[in-house]
Amino acid sequence: MLYTDIEKKYGFKFPAKFHRILETGALEWAENGVENFRSNMKKYVDDPAAFMMINADCELIFTDVFEEYMQDIEEIKKLGEEYQNLTLNPQYRFIPFAYTGSGDIFCFVYVEDNEPFVILLFHDIFEYEFYGKDFDEFMYMMMLNAASCSLHDGEDYKTETWIKHLDYLSDKYRNMLESSSFTNEEEADAELIKIIDSKQFEIWVEL
């Protein structure tokens, strides 16, 4: 299934920056599906241009299982209604696109026809974290997170893959990362937290 098929089926558009990355072929692995990825894992993991093959605790959703994550969003909403008298804000539209190792879901949040902002929606508590005013800022945050994860493991974060992913950023964020040189995970985390803590939205509202 292609990302454009998902757009047609659910009636929305992925962000413009997402489409520009898609046009490079860097998301071939996600569109080819789970089984294809398992059969060709080394090919994709070893390709520095394969989008989001960085150590950032963010796994993009394969297009052939996208519907399952749409259902997960509905299930999280139902749990909030049942146990906390809360519901996901009906003014927003939540489109899942990635997930963490613990099962939390990264969502594009659409407000009418505006470019979506990004949140991390927790699957087991009725809270969220802000992850970018747009997809470009989200990608900058993922690069920071990848730097933090590598430094935590005692490794150089400026790998071939990390450097290649600079090409997917706007000049603003690319320049910010190229002019920085983090020596420990705390320095990268500090920049990440500045953005996470910068915005608050009414994601959950009372019934």
In tens, the pLDDT along 132-169 reads 999 999 999 999 999 999 999 999 999 999 999 999 99
- Give the mean pLDDT of the chain: 96
Q: What is the pTM of this model?
A: 0.96
pLDDT of residue 181: 93
Is residue 189's pLDDT more than 90? yes
How far apart CA 130 and CA 198 sit, in angstroms, is 8
Strands (E), 100-202: 105-110, 117-121, 128-130
Is residue 113's pLDDT more than 90? no
- Rounded mean pLDDT, 169-191: 96
Residues 13-70 have pLDDT tens digits of 999 999 999 999 999 999 999 999 999 999 999 999 999 999 999 999 999 999 999 9
Run of H or E including 94: strand 93-99
Q: In which band, very low, low, confident or very high, does the pLDDT at 114 lie, cut at 50, 70 and 90? A: confident
Give the percent of the chain with pLDDT over 70: 100
| Token code pair at residue 7 | 């757009």
Task: Please state, as a whole number, how many other Cβ atoms lie within 10 Å of the Cβ of residue 148.
Answer: 24
pLDDT of residue 112: 85
